[in-house]
Structure 1
Amino acid sequence: MSLTTQYIQKTQAILATIEQQADIIQQAASWFSQTILAGRMVHLFGSGHSRIMVEEMWPRYGSFPGFNPIVELSISFHNLVVGANGQRQAMFLENVPGLAQRILRNYDLSKLDSALVISSSGCNVVPIEMAEIFQQQGVKVVALITKQHAEKSTSKRMDGKKLSDFANLTLDTGAPVGDAMLTIPGLDTPVAPGSTVGGAVIVNCIKAEVARLLTEAGHPPNVLSAANVVGPERAVTLFESAYDEHAHRLAKLYERVGIPSSVSGPGPNRT
């Protein structure tokens, strides 16, 4: 059997694992749609390669506003590999306690918000602390992990807690321990990871279910669509309106954040 066939078969097994989580996906979509209908945003976070899932959710074709992609380049920019801004620094920083708090200091969180935090191992400090802070602020947290890999991994936190310990709901990418799925004769280390495949499928299932719920509620989303599908004029209108809506939603996360200023909006303890 060719390696290509093997990978496809293992991917089919991942899809079967995801299909078994249909009810959990529906629950996540329900929380996310409620956030968006309330005029707020679903916060998305992932360090390292988990950033891929953040960008898969929004913005790209077939996606829509309502999601706040929190992408920290210091812990997710891999292109240079070595030297300044290299991978060693990123892997170090994603386990620095307190960084999550500094990231979320930029936002005025609300109990109406919800969050998707992605970490295959569920054991790196920054994603765990992000979920912990979200929960402390009353934000519902959906964790996207690789269950088998997370169970066999050791948390980098001093107390041993993992991402799933701070999640209201946990989804599984279906990939194996170590992520890589194929063994090649003569090579003692496996290749070809599977968590990205599973994660992307889950993210798009959630996205589709959220779009359905928004539409059924009478608020169909402004979906980024290709010109060869909806025509060039409507494509431009959809893109512009979606980006503007994103800006308007994002503004709410900034207007009352932190220390009041002469231009800040009224806050819970402000007059």
Structure 2
Amino acid sequence: MELPKAYFERIRAQIQELERRSLQAIEQAAERCAECLQKGGVIHVYDTGHLVSRELINRAGGLAAFTPFHFDLSVNNPNPYREAQGVSGQTRPETVRAIVSAALDRSRILPGDVLVIGSVSGKTPFPVELAIQARERGVFVIALTALDYSSKLQSEHESGKRLYEVADLVIDNAAPYGDGMMQIEGLEVPFCPASGIGAAVALWAVVAGIIERMVNAGYTPTVLASINRPDGQERYKRSIEEYKQKGY
């Protein structure tokens, strides 16, 4: 069995490529996030479903300051007759704009905050619209995407732009076109996607940079300890109270 070993080799190569492509952007993101926290801002994370928001939130060794942001409009209106006629719900551009605007209105996102938006393809309407409207509200937007993939796709947003074209800063997770990075004879579709691991590595590197900058500036950021330690639950409660008081 050679593919498991080949997978590790491919992952190492991807992480090296991620470092080559995105280290400068990662350092810039860390600088901007550290400044945001020092000024009383908040870092928000919006993800289209591939690991990022779950990886960063409430993790042992992670920052208490990362806040998830999620929204949707769920409509339950099944009708077999209409389905047979091909009538389906449509999300028009004006609907996308209205939903994103309402989500930001109802959120705790304020000018001066940082919003990390994760989308591998970067082509779908909601992440793009969210980046546009957030920037209009004075929020610094960091896009986490796959440039080799996204640049070859057509945007579904009314502007014709993809996420990396509307963000303040772009971190390329170095995933290949189509995301799958392994192949085998007899199987047409590449497998073992690269984007999730690339995104996680990139964002933990950002976290390392944030902590380094804040400590060097005389700030002690709230880092969560494992709740599975004997004193874990109490330490976690104290950490959350500390974050409530300090904001970082």
Q: Does 1:169 align with 2:132?
A: no
In the TM superposition, structure 1's runs of 4+ consecutive aligned residues that sit over 4 Å from their partners are 245-250
Q: 1:63 maps to which residue?
A: 62
Mapped contact 1:109–1:137 kept (Cα < 8 A): no
Looking at structure 1, the residues matched to 73 and 213 of structure 2 have their Cα atoms a distance apart, in angstroms, of 35
Deviates more, 1:174-183 or 1:241-250: 241-250
1:244 to 228, 238, 241: 241
| Number of aligned residue pairs | 228
Gaps of 5+ in 2: 75-89
Looking at structure 2, the residues matched to 104 and 227 of structure 1 have their Cα atoms a distance apart, in angstroms, of 32
Equivalent residue letter for 1:25: I
Q: 2:221 maps to which residue?
A: 221
Q: 1:33 maps to which residue?
A: 34
Mapped contact 2:125–2:157 kept (Cα < 8 A): yes
What is the SS of the residue equivalent to 2:219?
coil
Q: 2:230 maps to which residue?
A: 232
Task: Tell me the CA shift for residue 237 of structure 1.
Answer: 4.3
Looking at structure 2, the residues matched to 19 and 133 of structure 1 have their Cα atoms a distance apart, in angstroms, of 30
Looking at structure 1, the residues matched to 113 and 198 of structure 2 have their Cα atoms a distance apart, in angstroms, of 25
Equivalent residue letter for 2:162: K
Mapped contact 1:144–1:170 kept (Cα < 8 A): yes
Equivalent residue letter for 1:69: P
Q: 2:187 maps to which residue?
A: 187
For residues 37-72 of structure 1, the C-alpha deviation after alignment (integer angstroms, 9 at most, x for no partner) is 1222011101132xx111212211111222221134
Looking at structure 2, the residues matched to 30 and 238 of structure 1 have their Cα atoms a distance apart, in angstroms, of 28
For residues 116-175 of structure 1, the C-alpha deviation after alignment (integer angstroms, 9 at most, x for no partner) is 111001111111111111110111111100110001111111221111122111111111
Mapped contact 2:112–2:139 kept (Cα < 8 A): yes
Q: Does 1:117 align with 2:117?
A: yes
Indicate how the Cα distance of structure 1 residues 5 and 134 shifts in structure 2: closer, same or farther if over 3 A, else same.
Answer: same
Q: What is the percentage of aligned positions where both structures have the same residue? A: 27
Name the Cα RMSD after superposition.
Answer: 2.4
Indicate how the Cα distance of structure 1 residues 220 and 108 shifts in structure 2: closer, same or farther if over 3 A, else same.
Answer: same
Task: State TM-score, norm by structure 1.
Answer: 0.76
Mapped contact 1:123–1:157 kept (Cα < 8 A): yes
Mapped contact 1:29–1:209 kept (Cα < 8 A): yes
Q: 1:160 maps to which residue?
A: 160
Q: 1:259 maps to which residue?
A: none
Q: Which has the higher contact order (CA 8 A, sep 6+)?
A: 2
Mapped contact 2:146–2:174 kept (Cα < 8 A): yes
Task: State TM-score, norm by structure 2.
Answer: 0.83
Looking at structure 2, the residues matched to 110 and 71 of structure 1 have their Cα atoms a distance apart, in angstroms, of 16
Q: 1:12 maps to which residue?
A: 12
Mapped contact 1:56–1:203 kept (Cα < 8 A): no
Indicate how the Cα distance of structure 1 residues 203 and 196 shifts in structure 2: closer, same or farther if over 3 A, else same.
Answer: same
What is the SS of the residue equivalent to 2:181?
strand
